[in-house]
Every structure is written in C-alpha cells, then in structure tokens.
Structure 1
Amino acid sequence: MRLIPAVVPRLDVLNVPREAERQLGLATDPRQRAILTNFRRHAMLEVSGRWPEILDPDLTVPHPVYRIVEGDNTAVFDGHDAVAGFYRTMTDAGLNVLVPLTERIAVADWGLAIESLLGQIVPGALMKPAMGEDVDDLDAHYLVTHKVANIWPYDEAVKLLGEHVYIDRASREVHRMDPADVVTPQQAADLLAPLLDPPIDVGVTPA
C-alpha cells in the first residue's frame, strides 16, 4: 500500500456515465449503441446501490457469470444468486461508491473492453476486512485507487453475459480523505437519479 496524504484525487460521481455518453456521441451502429446504453445504465445503478435493477432481464441474462481477478486470487460468481450476493454484500457495506477517475471504452459487436483508473470510497473500519490494508484512523474515510481492465460480453439480444474484471493490485494507492470530500452512497444515488430516471432511449432495436 502507498498512503499518499498530500495529493488526493477528486471524485466526481457524475463521471460514471461520461465515457459511455461520449462513445454514444460517436457510435452509429445500432447494436453497439444498445451495448453502450446497457453499460451506462448498469454502471450508474451499481454506484447508486440499485443493484437488483442490474439483474433485470432487460439488462442481464438469467445466468450471468462474473470473474474478478486480483493478483493471485480469482473470485467467481456463477449465476443469478451468486451475482446478487456479490452486489448485496458490497452495497450493504457501503462500498458501492466506485467511480472512474479516467476511463476508456472500446465497443464492438461482441461487447465492451474498458480500462479505468477507479476510485472507491472506503470507511476506515472496513479498510482491513475489505481491502486488507491497515490504517491509522478507523473513523476516517479513504479513497482507494487502482487500474482496472474489464471485458463485458453481451448475447445476441444485447443482454450482459457477465463481467471479466482484472484489478492491477500493484497500482493501488490509498489516500486519506478530507471529510468535506467524502461522498456517501446516498449522495451518489441522489446525484445519479436524474440521469437514470427515466432510462434514455437511444432509438435502436438490438440486431
């Protein structure tokens, strides 16, 4: 762990959909636009704590499979209940404020490739159990950043098949946050709600 107290990145929750929206401004293929729209909504639902909506059949197949790789560890969540448990555990712990500081997306007919520098707000009391990191102040909040690559495949009906997540453990940095900069899960949900409801209509039918 590298604790860097002097330079703390600023987390902007409204950055969650921005790269997908930029790509939607460029993409013309109907299937690829539908994939980007699916991803945009999924990402905001996750940060908003509205994870049951991610598993709605309009967004995700009935039996998704998630593989999350960090260092030598691979966690596999196989099926609806396992993926629901993954989201429930993260959200109940208040660890769902996970926002890209930078992000690049490549879209194709098969799905998405995503490279991000992600920032996650973690209460000090959860730094050891959730992150394996010892910190001096259990009452503070910390911004944990790391580079992450994602592969998201989609089926023929533009439903998410699962996530393949690769976390660059060596890139992790831990920043103690100023209390004024902490964004709570409820604040994140409130900021994203106007962008989620109602869902945007890209005017396409999946190929």
Structure 2
Amino acid sequence: MNRFEQAVYDCMKPTEALYEQTRNPFHRKIILNFWRHVHLEGAGLYDQICADDMMVERPVYRITWGANPAVIEGREGVKAFYDSVGDVVLWNSDDRIAVADWGIADELTFNLLGLGGIMQAIGYDVPDPHKFYHVRSRQAFIWPYDSRALLAGEHLYEDKTSLVWEEVDEAELTTAARVKAIQKDLLDQLHARFGEKFWVWEPDAATV
C-alpha cells in the first residue's frame, strides 16, 4: 500500500472521532450520513448518495474548486457533477470537523491525484497535461442538513492562497479504480459495524 492509498484509508478517522465523542442522537445520525456519503462518493455509488434516505428532494451544491465556481441544483445535477470530475483520486485530510443541528462544518485539506490534463480542466494551472500531480488546498466544507438528517447540499469553499501541487512519479501512483475498491471496503466495514439503515433518523428510536 502506498502513501496515497493509506491516506484514503485514514481519511475518515476525524469523523469517527467526532462520532465517538458525540452524544446527541440527531447529531450522530448527521455524522453517520456524512460518513457514509464520503465512502459512497469515493466508491462511485452516486445513485445511493441521491436516494430518498440520504438526501433532500432538491439539494443545492455550491462548488468553488479551481477556476469555475458553480451552483448545482437537484439530484440529477448532483449526479452529473460527480460524473464530471473524471478519473481523479480524491480524499480529505487534516480535518477540523464539527456537527450541529443544522449540519456539518469541516475545515480540511482537499487532495486530488491525477493527470495534469484533468487538473487543468478542473481549473488548476499545473504545468504539464501529460504528467501526474498531487494537488491540494485548504477548504471549508459546509454541509447543511434538514430536520430528517437528510443532506440538503454541499457548500465547498476553497482557500486559493493555500493551493499547492507537486509532480508525482508514476511509480508512486494509485488508480481511481483501486481507490474505489478501498472506499467500497470501508463502506462495507461501516455497514457491518452499524447495521441496516444505520444513517436513517427515526426520532422514536433515537439511539445509535
């Protein structure tokens, strides 16, 4: 396992730590939705992210990555956004995460690993479209939730002053397919740990 794969395996440890110290059952459901969402997204299971038990009927995403800020509305728009990212490895690190009745706030380092041409298409001005780069920046992820603990959107704000990249030797690379497999394994572990429909808020049975 290389350093990038290890980083993907470790990316939700701050979320797990927040869950363990949280006692409010509604907040715990929000955390579990967030946790599951990240693994679903990493595994490419976008339909499950946009299901009725995970997301509101009309989510709103505000994305400020790269050079092309966008507002995305509706589940179909969200799925199209995920599909548009391309063959890039994504993960978060160095999280400072909190939960409240309204949702999740997470200041983190957002990491992308992939071909320079894809990075340029996103809006990152890496030098060579044919080489591979690790691009990272500090970002604030604000994820609002509704009273049913359903995701209402993602507001992703990038600190452009923190943006850096480094060229990565091909011998060090991992693949998007490999990372999808890692995320699927982590998702399976999450389901095995918490059981069926563990992310669904049921006020009359508010224990986790």
Q: TM-score range by the shorter chain?
A: 0.7 to 0.9
> Structure 1 residues 156, 176: CA separation in 2 closer, same or farther (over 3 Å shift)?
same
Q: Give yes or no for contact 2:59–2:75 (8 Å, CA) kept in 1.
A: yes
Does structure 1 retain, via aligned residues, the 8 Å contact 2:67–2:123? no
1: CA distance, partners of 2:41 / 2:11: 10
Aligned mate of 1:94, from 87, 90, 98: 87
Which residue, out of 73, 85, 89, partners 2:80? Answer: 85
Q: Figure out how many residues of one structure are paired with residues of the other and give that number.
A: 194
Whole-Å Cα distance in 2 between the matches of residues 133 and 141 of structure 1?
13
Q: Aligned partners of 1:70, 1:127: CA distance in 2, in Å? A: 11
Counterpart residue number, 1:127? 119
Superposed counterparts of 1:1-207, under 5 Å = 10-11=3-4, 12-70=7-65, 74-90=69-85, 93-95=86-88, 97-136=89-128, 138-197=129-188, 199=191, 200-201=194-195, 205-207=201-203
Hey, which of these two has a bigger chunk of strand by percent? 1
Under a length normalisation based on structure 2, what TM-score does the superposition of the two structures give? 0.85
CA–CA distance in structure 1, aligned partners of residues 45 and 35 of structure 2: 14
CA distance in 2 between counterparts of 1:144 and 1:193 reads 23
Whole-Å Cα distance in 1 between the matches of residues 91 and 48 of structure 2? 19
Structure number having the greater helix percentage = 2
- Over the matched positions of the two proteins, sequence identity in percent amounts to 34
Deviation at 1:206, TM superposition (A): 4.0
Amino acid at match of 1:94: D
Greater mean deviation of Cα atoms: 62-71 or 24-33: 62-71
Alpha-carbon RMSD: 2.1
Aligned equivalents of 1:82, 1:204: Cα separation in 2: 23
Please report how far the alpha carbon of residue 133 of structure 1 lies from its aligned counterpart in structure 2 after TM superposition: 1.3
Shift of 1:16: 2.6
Structure 1's unaligned 5+ residue stretches are 1-9
What is aligned with 1:4? Answer: none
Instruction: Name the TM-score, length of structure 1 as normaliser.
Output: 0.85
Equivalent position amino acid for 1:141 in 2: F
Matched-pair contact (CA < 8 Å) for 2:95–2:108: yes
Quick one: distance in 1 between partners of 2:199 and 2:116? 44
